[in-house]
Amino acid sequence: MEPLTEKQQQIFNLIKAALAADGRRPSQREIARQAGLAQNSVYQIIRYLKQKGYLVDLGGHRGVRLSAEYLDSLPPKRGIPIVGQVAAGQPVLAQQNIEGYVEIKDLLGLSDDVFLLRVRGDSMTDEGIMDGDYVAVKPASTAQNGRIAVVLLDDEATVKKVYVQKNRIALEPANRAAGYKTQYVKRTDKDIRIIGNVIGCLRKLK
Amino acid sequence: MEPLTEKQQQIFNLIKAALAADGRRPSQREIARQAGLAQNSVYQIIRYLKQKGYLVDLGGHRGVRLSAEYLDSLPPKRGIPIVGQVAAGQPVLAQQNIEGYVEIKDLLGLSDDVFLLRVRGDSMTDEGIMDGDYVAVKPASTAQNGRIAVVLLDDEATVKKVYVQKNRIALEPANRAAGYKTQYVKRTDKDIRIIGNVIGCLRKLK
DNA sequence: ATATTATATGGTCATTTGACAATATAGTCA
DNA sequence: TGACTATATTGTCAAATGACCATATAATAT
């Protein structure tokens, strides 16, 4: 966007400050008082701010707002920065190293019905799901074959790779070292229920 | 808060809708037009809304805003439910199964300076950090011995268990199966820099 | 039966507000 | 020098706005 002069920036900052303070757009006279100017000086400067695209006039009385153009140009302060390549001799969080900003929810693709389940046991460590991890689960009554899912087996929620077969369900662990074996459960045999698919995994380290 | 009548709720909703739409508090006449009323009917109802504490008058012209009292009473936009024990015969998300609600940021203990780094390679799979995972990194210039940290080695950010020793730094992988070996780097030898500690790990499954 | 509450309208009015014209000045650029 | 831009002021004004009064009515509470 076209840069602002010092004075224009000052007035623009006053407007933003007032908006941040109480969500209320200050009148030209309020701004003028703070800046020690006459109302019409502010009017003139606002004309430039509109002209340069920082403000838009929605029409009607007192209809001037921050423009979408300006809001879009703001550094996306929300979310967590993702660092890509790290350039030599630069601080890690230097602008050039940052690939973008994300919300963790977006990153994991979390929707409203997703819940977290704390994993117990080490039966899925080969898939990077460790004891104590949280898995994000999207509720579903069926599971795609080979997907990691949560099933309720004898009142216990377990996380396994699930294969639905003819008359049974295979629950495949992922821990070769410990030698867990695939468990086959007949639908008629035990009380088994598929709860949902695991769509993410997260862990806090200390 | 004292409940609103149907009409009061309607007007209040119109005000909230307009605020959500363009951040602009509608004038009484605008509201009246939408509701098919006279301006003064809206004025009366707004009187009630003020009286019941849903709106506050900041004073001055057109100074009415949503009250802090109302904003606080809003359903706390709860995060993601954490499911503990799953009771038999109950839907997973039944109230009794839910241990609580958390924001993922709180769960991972993320503060402002934390950033995400995408992990490349399988050198830390035994610690449940897989190729393609994101690790949350808290910037630090030193690392505690034995902690998983991010170091910058020859312009490449790598995730390893770090041990700072007398005149060298040991970078210990965690993948017995693949047979990665611990790497010892003399501080004088290579350009090595500790970037931060890994405080969390997250992964999206498809 | 009476009082109160909530809704609703018409009339009116003082203020606030943004807009605009006219004008001035200092700095920059051609 | 002259043109132009940005800043700044005074004076003025129409439109928008919220406030308040009087009034009406239906429902509800006492």
> A178 lies in a domain?
yes
Question: Do B151 and B185 reside in the same domain of the chain?
Answer: yes
> B41 lies in a domain?
yes
Question: Do B97 and B123 reside in the same domain of the chain?
Answer: no
Question: Do B161 and B188 reside in the same domain of the chain?
Answer: yes
Predicted local confidence at residue B84, as pLDDT:
75
pLDDT tens for A99-115 read: 888 888 888 877 888 88
Question: Do B64 and B84 reside in the same domain of the chain?
Answer: no
> B183 lies in a domain?
yes
C-alpha A134: how far from chain center: 17
ipTM over 0.85: no
Q: Name the DSSP letter for residue B167.
A: S
Is the pLDDT confidence value at B39 over 70? yes
Count Cα atoms within 13 angstroms, Cβ side, for A130: 17
Question: Do B172 and B189 reside in the same domain of the chain?
Answer: yes
Question: Do B83 and B28 reside in the same domain of the chain?
Answer: no
Is the pLDDT confidence value at B203 over 80? yes
Confidence of residue B24 (pLDDT cuts 50, 70, 90): confident
Question: Do A123 and A173 reside in the same domain of the chain?
Answer: yes
CA–CA distance, B119 with B103 (Å, rounded to integer): 23
Is the pLDDT confidence value at B82 over 70? yes
Confidence of residue B161 (pLDDT cuts 50, 70, 90): very high
Predicted local confidence at residue A21, as pLDDT:
81
More confident residue, A24 or B12: B12
Which CATH number does the domain housing residue B39 bear?
Answer: 1.10.10.10
Percent of chain B with pLDDT over 70: 95
> A1 lies in a domain?
no
**Cα distances (angstroms) measured from residue B33 to each of A71, A186, B84:** 30, 65, 51
Nearest CA in chain B to A93: B115
- Average pLDDT over chain B, rounded to an integer: 86
Q: Cβ neighbours of residue B204 under 8 Å, at least 6 residues apart? A: A107, A108, A109, A199, A200
Which CATH number does the domain housing residue B193 bear?
Answer: 2.10.109.10
Residue B95, domain extent: 77-103
CA–CA distance, B83 with B22 (Å, rounded to integer): 38
With 0-12 CB in 10 A as exposed, 13-18 as middle and 19+ as buried, what is B93? middle
* Region B44-59 average pLDDT: 89
Nearest CA in chain A to B91: A195
Is the pLDDT confidence value at A77 over 80? no
CB contact under 8 A, A130 and B128: yes
CA–CA distance, A148 with A199 (Å, rounded to integer): 8
Is the pLDDT confidence value at B159 over 90? yes
pLDDT tens for A6-35 read: 999 999 999 998 888 877 888 899 999 999
Q: Contact, A125 vs A137, CB < 8 A?
A: no
CA–CA distance, A169 with A186 (Å, rounded to integer): 6
Which pair of structure tokens corresponds to residue B89? 């015969």
Question: Do B127 and B157 reside in the same domain of the chain?
Answer: yes
Confidence of residue B130 (pLDDT cuts 50, 70, 90): very high
Question: Do B93 and B123 reside in the same domain of the chain?
Answer: no
Question: Do A65 and A137 reside in the same domain of the chain?
Answer: no
Question: Do B132 and B171 reside in the same domain of the chain?
Answer: yes
**B160 assigned to active site:** yes
Question: Do A198 and A121 reside in the same domain of the chain?
Answer: yes
* Region B153-166 average pLDDT: 88
In the 23-42 segment of chain B, residues within 7 Å (Cβ) of strand C are 32, 36-41
Asked if strand D contacts A41 at the CB level, meaning under 7 A, the answer is: yes
CA–CA distance, B20 with B182 (Å, rounded to integer): 56
* Region B177-198 average pLDDT: 88
> B1 lies in a domain?
no
Smallest CA-to-CA distance from A77 within A98, A109, A101 is with A101
**B123 assigned to active site:** yes
pLDDT tens for A127-140 read: 999 999 999 999 98
As for how many domains chain B has, the answer is: 3
Beta bridge partners of A196: A139, A150
CA–CA distance, A165 with A193 (Å, rounded to integer): 14
Is the pLDDT confidence value at B190 over 90? no
Per-residue b or e along B57-87, where b marks 16 or more CB atoms closer than 10 Å to that residue's CB: eeeeeeebbbbeebeeeeeeeebbbbbeebe
Is the pLDDT confidence value at B150 over 90? yes
